Amino acid sequence: MQLGINMCFAVNRLIEPAAWAEFVRGDLDLDTVQFSFDLLDPWWPDIHRSALIRRIRAAVETHALVIDSACAGRAHSVPAGLLDSDPAARSVARRWWRRACDLAAELGASAVGGPLGTLSPRVAVDPAARGDRCRELVDSLEAITDYAAAAGLRELLIEPIPQTREYPSTISQCLELFDGLRNRCAIPVGFTLDIGQALFEPSFGPQAKAETWISALGAGILMLRVNNSSRLGDPGWGWTHERGQGRAPIAGCVEAVGLNDVPVTLEVCPQFGENDEEARRVLVASVNHCRRYLGIAPPKGHERPYPVGRRLAAIFWGLPGGT
């Protein structure tokens, strides 16, 4: 397994690409990131977006990082998206995905992904309407993968969200969608399994286990996202948080189903009011925890104790000692 980090931690903190790239490489000792569209919106005008992409790619290349994928981020997880009740809104969602494919490819990523959308309360309880919407979703995903392939992407990553009207939200729905997409897509389509979401007790009960999802979805999982969960929501905690319960012992299960080569992405989303020094400390501790807990080695050529990189942190987080 290879460990990377989702860039949600940089939102409203490490704004300049050079700052977050230096922090990821210098403090976290990672070489792979999952870009978040919270940092660069696919809707932004092309002329401005292109200049920002150049800055990001320059920073990534300077610090020998790889953007392996790009994801919707938190802001773009809110709209009903491809499952909206309004046909015009669904058309807009398809256009958003095309622009997301373009942006991901321009950033040098090989995959793009995110949640697909939310059914309205009316549609969710109407079997005929729900069936129509899900069939249209499969058609939309086929068209999106055609576009993604033409843009140079190699994978589409679907994020299951454990809310009743999200789709897919359960193991059976993931399998249903996966079966509907079989032999229809220009590139592989699979799931980003969020370990915290898999442990969501209001939907799956107190006995919820990530291993259940891993065993059921198997090779349909193209990415694992790890985070420290409350089991009751998506707080974005890192380690060590005294109330966290997201330490699912997934390493053995991952190996058993042959997912050792699937990328693992750490997700830590500091609260906007959280102290910068505390956020930095939690990020470093979380990377170290995941490496120990999942048995993931540092990048090749970086076999050393995991440093705090205090001076780099001071420079880019605005802490004392950075001059």
Residue 157 lies in a domain: yes
pLDDT at 114: 96
| Burial class of residue 25 (count of CB atoms within 10 Å of its CB; 0-12, 13-18, 19+) | buried
Residue 86 lies in a domain: yes
pTM of the model: 0.87
Residue 60 lies in a domain: yes
Overall average pLDDT of the 14-23 stretch = 95
User: What gap in Å lies between CA 114 and CA 184, rounded to an integer?
Assistant: 19
Residue 322 lies in a domain: no
Residue 18 lies in a domain: yes
Residue 218 lies in a domain: yes
pLDDT at 211: 82
Residue 323 lies in a domain: no
Binned at pLDDT 50, 70 and 90, residue 299 comes out as: low
CATH number assigned to the domain comprising residue 266: 3.20.20.150
pLDDT(302) > 60: no
Binned at pLDDT 50, 70 and 90, residue 159 comes out as: very high
- For residue 109, the enclosing domain spans 3-317
In total, how many domains does the chain have?
1
- pLDDT (tens digit per residue) in 243-266: 444 444 566 667 767 788 899 999
Binned at pLDDT 50, 70 and 90, residue 161 comes out as: confident
Ramachandran sector of residue 213 (left: φ over 0; alpha: ψ -120 to 50; beta: rest): alpha
Residue 14 lies in a domain: yes
Residue of 257, 259, 210, 254 whose CA lies nearest to 231: 210
